[in-house]
């Protein structure tokens, strides 16, 4: 079983408009609503790949009920912990004229100390059956900034590989707890390390405590600095589409490759193909399976020489 943690789950709404005009009135021609939050997206992709995926985190209020009803139709297991507050919503507005996406994210419900304690009990229990755990996304109000560091330490104590995918101070604190893998995008990595040069930044992030750093480079693919070597996986061409969920699909590919014991270049091929197929999918956060299978043999992997 692969466990995904989403402390700040969401109902993801996607609006498609002919063109997004600031201060204008817009007619929405298509609406999509689905369970969301980074770890939920990761679990959805893992389930589609045939892995047993379990989702935990928090859900509450009417929006939480909607989220859990949506999970019931997915190939994932719901192990969410109830909270009194109402689960947040996120809104993505897709401009059909340009393909650009504008995102609006609510903060999420306030979590009480009692609710956090209930989650930790559930998390410890779920770790006993997990082959890997992904700790994903933002923190809701009420959760201390070192929460992911605490969850990494508990995973390490249980002997479960932990992947951390967050940003800002939770990433800074979490990486010091020595997760097996962190997966920032280029902006998050630059914020963490102060460097925008990908190779230098990934090395700097590893020195902060992560065993492996995998950075999403957008259309330039994925860069991984690991104890075994440094590789970059690149799609055969730059693609246009909705990037929402592409990073989460990459995380699913990395976790899938980990539990399948693939060598690092093959893990990166899987992750890059999934991310690219997600950008090309008609619905945000899904991946086009035919596109994914077509891309697998066409991803280029380049090995980099370690810095002196």
Reading the block at residue 194, the tokens are 């102060």
Q: What pTM was estimated for this model as a whole?
A: 0.92
pLDDT in tens, 70-118: 999 889 999 999 999 999 999 888 888 887 888 899 999 999 999 999 9
Q: Is 103 helix (H, G, I), strand (E, B) or coil?
A: strand
Q: Is 82 helix (H, G, I), strand (E, B) or coil?
A: strand
Residue 308 pLDDT level (bands cut at 50, 70, 90): very low
Q: What is the pLDDT of residue 240?
A: 66
Q: Is 164 helix (H, G, I), strand (E, B) or coil?
A: strand
Reading the block at residue 215, the tokens are 């950075």
Choose between 16 and 114: higher pLDDT: 114
- Which amino acids are annotated catalytic? 248
pLDDT in tens, 195-246: 888 888 998 999 999 999 999 888 888 999 999 999 999 998 777 666 778 8
Report yes or no: 219 and 236 within 8 Å, Cβ to Cβ: no
Reading the block at residue 304, the tokens are 């980099």
Distance, C-alpha 72 to centroid of its chain: 20
């Amino acid at each position: 079983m692969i466990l995904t943690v989403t402390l700040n789950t969401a109902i993801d709404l996607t609006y498609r408009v002919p063109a997004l005009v600031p201060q204008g009135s817009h007619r929405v021609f298509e609406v999509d609503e689905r369970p969301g939050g980074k770890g939920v997206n990761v679990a959805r992709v893992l389930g589609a790949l045939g892995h047993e995926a379990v989702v935990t985190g928090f859900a509450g209020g009417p929006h939480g009920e909607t989220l859990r009803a949506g999970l019931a139709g997915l190939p994932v297991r719901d192990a969410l912990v109830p909270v009194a507050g109402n689960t947040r919503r996120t809104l993505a507005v897709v401009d059909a004229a340009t393909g650009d996406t504008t995102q609006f994210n609510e903060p999420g419900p306030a979590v009480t100390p009692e609710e956090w304690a209930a989650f930790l009990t559930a998390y410890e229990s779920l770790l006993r059956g997990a082959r890997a755990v992904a700790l994903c996304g933002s923190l809701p109000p009420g959760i201390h900034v070192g929460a992911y560091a605490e969850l990494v330490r508990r995973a390490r104590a249980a002997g479960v590989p932990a992947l951390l995918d967050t940003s800002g101070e939770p990433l800074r604190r979490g990486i010091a707890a020595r997760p097996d893998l962190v997966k920032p995008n280029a902006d998050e990595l630059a914020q963490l390390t102060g460097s925008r040069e990908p190779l230098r930044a990934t090395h700097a992030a590893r020195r902060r405590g992560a065993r492996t750093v995998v950075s999403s480079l957008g259309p330039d693919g994925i860069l991984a600095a690991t104890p075994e070597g440094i590789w970059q996986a690149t799609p055969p061409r730059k693609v246009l589409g909705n990037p929402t969920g592409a990073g989460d699909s990459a995380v699913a590919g990395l976790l899938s490759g980990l539990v399948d014991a693939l060598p690092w270049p093959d893990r990166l091929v899987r992750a890059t193909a999934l991310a690219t197929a997600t950008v090309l999918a008609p619905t945000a956060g899904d991946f086009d399976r035919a596109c994914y299978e077509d891309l697998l043999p066409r991803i280029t992997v380049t090995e980099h020489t370690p810095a002196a």
